[in-house]
Structure 1
Amino acid sequence: MADVLSLKQSILIYLERSGGLERLAEDCEPYNDPQRTEAVYRFNVSVHPSDVMEVDPELGDCLLHDPLTATTLFQSACFQVIKSLSLIGKLQTESQVNVILNYTHLPPFPEYTLDLCRFPRVHRPVRPVSMEGLVIAITRVTKYTQGARFLCTNDDCPSAGGFHHIRVHTPGATESAVVRNDFSCTNCRSPLTEDVKFRVLGGEIISGQQRTSTSESHCFVFLTRTDELCNSMRIGRRYRLLGIPAHVHKWPNIACSVEANRVQPWNKVSASFQRLLRETSSSLWRFSAVVAHCFGLHVAPPGSYNTLKLSLLLSLMQTTTDAEDTFHNVDLLVVTTDTLIVDRFKGSET
């Protein structure tokens, strides 16, 4: 692996280009509230592997094939930024920074896709993968420990105070890996005791998924331990999941489990549109031009009002993810020489 310092520099370059530094500064503001005293400061960092690869191939390779090491590198880089810019005055040690890497995309290769129909289903490298599934069951939201502070029981040890021993949850870890009563101090080997008032809890749900890409269906467990994802799952909906395979629940009827940090709604696209997209992939604008050219053939001739047609197509795209909204309005632009019909329908809902 390349020099650690150069990898951290590449992380800073990527964060600056992607706007991650600005988001990091914004996420630090709530922690400066005098009424809040935190042991662990949690930050979600969005990463696009392809963009990272353009900045530093070594860093991109680490991100895809050694996510735990990549998380440690991002943690160190974010800590240096926070301390250099004094974004959180109460921050003391690097271990207090808990970075969660949210992968926005993954390479479209079989190595980064979890297929339960392939062998082996369980024994595979620790790397982020994507999968698709239909939610068939969801448990209630339960609590797990995101982070905890431990103190050395030896009063003469420097670790008897401060924030030297911080344990946070990592993908694939069980609750006992974060909170236990047999940890020892790295300085004097004395027993550690947890400072319970600084324990940070998070939400956890377990969703039963069914893969339907082949004739044979397989059930597996999707485990999300990210608070902002717990309320986004809906039974009966199809999702694309990005996460790291983990064995955290050993049940006899479960083939595999995945701890995911990103959930994307998955919508079925017609075969004709997929074929059109493949045939026009050589150009950035050919697909949208063809769609606009063919839109509304019974209203306007092909090739006319293409800009207007494209604007209407964009307005028809559903971008909201709020499941509570049961009705979504669609803006319509009507061009006519006869205003009588328009006046009759003005103010009505269809």
Structure 2
Amino acid sequence: QNICFTAATTLDWIPGLSSPSQLLLELRLSSLPTSPGYSITRQSDFPPLSSEPRFLSVTGVVLSATLPSEYTQSACFHCPVEGCSGRGSHYVRLHVAGSSEAATVRPSVHCHICSSPLTEDLSLRTIAHKMVVNVVPSHSLRNSLSTPSHRHQATPIIIRGELCEGVRVGGEYSVIGVPVHTLNESSSRAFVYTRLEANNVFHVGRASISVDEAKAVLPAPVTDILSACSYSPWAFSATLAYSFAAEVVPPGAYHRLKLALLLSLASSSTPSPLHLLTVATDTTPLPALLLYGSSLASRSTQLSSTSDLWGSNR
């Protein structure tokens, strides 16, 4: 802080800078010790509430993410008392990792000279963006087929500011942050939610399909869609489901059912194929859609209501 203050005053970068305490320096950590106490893979790995807060690291795949929302990054207060020597001064409160957002704009801020409650200048409030992502360990996705009975709990992570840029669903990241405990009280019980607030985010990788390998087996239109959707591991599946069975139902209709049909067709040659049961009141387009999907399978059987014992084998 002193080094940055000396450089800023020497080069006259910040007019009116008089003390090092006016500078806020946020250090981005690049690594942590490899001991088990600094790495987490599930919620139970968080240190107890009574322990001293420390930086933790988690590496995994982003399963879901909220839309960016606004929060108060900084707030400026001043003393409203006439005659107070601190009336012309401004008190700035900044959000730091690990603290609650309500502490930035809490009303219990007092003047250091007359101890009067300070008044916030809303015109000087700084707004920034944040998002919450759920991360699961990378090995849980790789071993999901071999250990189907295991359940993995995602770790919620709060990402703020410029760290939100580049974070995508399906990407693999290494996050360093501090735990944040939020108390949620209700009429009958109280809950403590533990999340990790990111100090730094590193992109590790992303599970993707090799376009070069797919060109040899996929038709040209499908390969073009795969190349155009290489920015996201989910865009290809969503686009393919959108245009699936366009001759039977309009594009975009029954999107989830189409996606389930594609997953069932893709897993038909595996030891544990995906079974699909569809229940609906509109029985006109759905049988046609299921019949269209079964025509793409290597083997299929259709049973009608008039003949429930004899099917058409293909």
TM-score range relative to shorter protein: 0.5 to 0.7
Q: Which residue matches 1:156?
A: 83
* Distance in 1 between residues matched to 2:127 and 2:43, nearest whole Å: 35
One of 191, 203, 216 as aligned partner of 1:265: 203
Equivalence map 1:1-350=2 (5 Å): 74=1, 76-116=2-42, 121-123=47-49, 124-163=51-90, 165-213=91-139, 215-225=150-160, 227-248=161-182, 250=184, 256-267=194-205
Alpha-carbon spacing, 1:207–1:84, altered in 2? closer, same or farther (3 Å): same
* Identity value in percent: 28
* Distance in 1 between residues matched to 2:5 and 2:182, nearest whole Å: 29
- For the Cα contact (< 8 Å) 1:132–1:240, is it kept in 2? yes
* Distance in 2 between residues matched to 1:98 and 1:200, nearest whole Å: 14
Aligned CA-pair RMSD: 3.1
Alpha-carbon spacing, 1:103–1:161, altered in 2? closer, same or farther (3 Å): same
Q: 2:54 is aligned with what amino acid?
A: R
- For the Cα contact (< 8 Å) 1:115–1:121, is it kept in 2? no
Q: 2:15 is aligned with what amino acid?
A: G
- For the Cα contact (< 8 Å) 1:206–1:224, is it kept in 2? yes
Superposed displacement of residue 216, structure 1: 4.2
SS in 1 for 2:9: helix
Q: Deviations over 1:78-134 (max 9, x none)?
A: 334323443211334544322211011222222221232655554343122211121
- For the Cα contact (< 8 Å) 1:79–1:94, is it kept in 2? yes
* Distance in 2 between residues matched to 1:156 and 1:255, nearest whole Å: 45
SS in 1 for 2:175: strand
Which is higher, the Rg of structure 1 or of structure 2?
Answer: 2
Instruction: List gaps (5 residues or longer) in structure 2.
Output: 141-149, 208-229, 236-314
Alpha-carbon spacing, 1:105–1:91, altered in 2? closer, same or farther (3 Å): same
* Distance in 2 between residues matched to 1:116 and 1:255, nearest whole Å: 14
Structure 1 length-normalised TM: 0.50
Structure 2 length-normalised TM: 0.55
- For the Cα contact (< 8 Å) 2:66–2:131, is it kept in 1? yes
Instruction: List gaps (5 residues or longer) in structure 1.
Output: 1-73, 270-321, 327-350
Aligned residues, how many? Answer: 197
* Distance in 1 between residues matched to 2:52 and 2:139, nearest whole Å: 23
Q: Going by fraction, where is helix more abundant, 1 or 2?
A: 1
Stretches of 4+ moved more than 6 A in 1? 251-255
